[in-house]
Amino acid sequence: MTTPANPAHPATVLLGAQAGRQSIPVCDHYSGVEARMRKSLQLQDEMRGEFGHVVFDVTLDCEDGAPVGLEREHASLVAQLARETRPGARVAARVHTVDHPAFANDVATIAGEAWDRLCHIMIPKVESVEDVEIAARALDAAGAKDLPLHALIESPAAVQRAFDIAAHPRIQSLSFGLMDFVSAHGGAIPSSGMTSTGQFEHPLVVRAKLDISSACHAHGKVPSHCVVTEFSNTDAMQAAARKAAREFGYTRMWSIHPAQIRPILAALAPDEIEIERAGRIISAAVAADWAPISEDGVLHDRASYRYFWQVLERAHQTGRSIPLEMRQWFVTGDGSDSA
């Protein structure tokens, strides 16, 4: 089925109240040692050439990456690496906690010197909206008034406040910090709760994951799933990512090793049958000027069109091939694939 010439963009027609929902890469890759940070940025550029757009973020880490006593030097390095990236790259920085002595310098240096090359700033161990406000004011003072914040939720009290934190207008995404969350329970959660399978079984961990995901979806933010530390086990990595996406509502996931990036992309991507069906339904919807249609005896209207359009968006984000008739909506004005 062909689409009319110059049809309205589906996102304009369908999203409505969801127009403010954030769309960012499904994988967030962390590195903090200089050699690994450089290799991560190089890999992002290589995969950008492969897929035609950026398929994962690179977050340069100050919290775990900065040697003790050399926090200022590390912040300067992160700012330098961010400035060296070419236009269109997606590079972020994880700074120290808002109560850490290095926090103010992290933000002043990294956001102050490289705000125009950054996609966001990650704040670890966020406990409350007040922590978000502190970070937002620091960014504003550094001249980065439009730079989004991501918050890492790592304690039971922070989980309790997840909905309030997600509601903050500066927040773009919430991440779940599994290891700190488990250890914050003083042994009440066994170590198995930190494994690739056990984290989906212990009731307190499951509840935290669902609360964070629900908070994000309630406020149009992106829920980002925690790391899987068994980075050499690709099957465990993909199984955890798939479960997080399909049963817990997470649309993004952390990577801590380059070998995890492609498994995350594969796990969070729609399958080929779903992509093909989504293309067929959206094509028919466009031809019907978005009126209801019947597909294999099933009624579809704008509610289901919205879902199938989001399938195509997710396919694009994860580097999957888009049906030919849909590709016009995933290119920029100069004809290149959009980021």
pLDDT digit string, tens, across residues 248-306: 999 999 999 999 999 999 999 999 999 999 999 999 999 998 999 998 888 999 889 99
Band of pLDDT at residue 17, cut at 50, 70 and 90: very low
> On the CB side of 227, how many CA atoms lie within 13 Å of its CA?
18
* pLDDT at position 153: 98
Contacts of residue 226, Cβ cutoff 8 Å, sequence gap at least 6? 175, 176, 177, 178, 179, 199, 253, 254
pLDDT tens sequence across 205-245: 999 999 999 999 999 999 999 988 887 788 888 999 999 99
* CB-based contacts of 53, cutoff 8 Å, min separation 6: 316, 337, 338, 339
* CATH H superfamily, domain 27-268: Phosphoenolpyruvate-binding domains (3.20.20.60)
The secondary structure element, H or E, covering residue 47 is helix 34-51
pLDDT number for residue 139:
98
Tell me the domain boundaries of the chain. Answer: 27-268, 271-329
How far apart (Å, rounded) are the C-alpha atoms in residues 15 and 2?
22
Interhelix angle for 129-141 vs 103-114, to 10°?
A: 50
Q: Report CA torsion sign: 33, 158, 114, 82.
A: positive
Count of positions (residues) in the chain: 339
Helix 302-317 × helix 272-287 angle, to 10°: 130
User: For the whole model, what pTM was predicted?
Assistant: 0.90
Our CA angle for 51, 54, 107, nearest 5°, is: 165
In the structure, what pLDDT confidence band is assigned to residue 44 with cuts at 50, 70 and 90?
very high
- Tell me how crowded residue 122 is: count the other CB atoms within 10 A of its CB: 26
Q: What is the pLDDT of residue 99?
A: 97
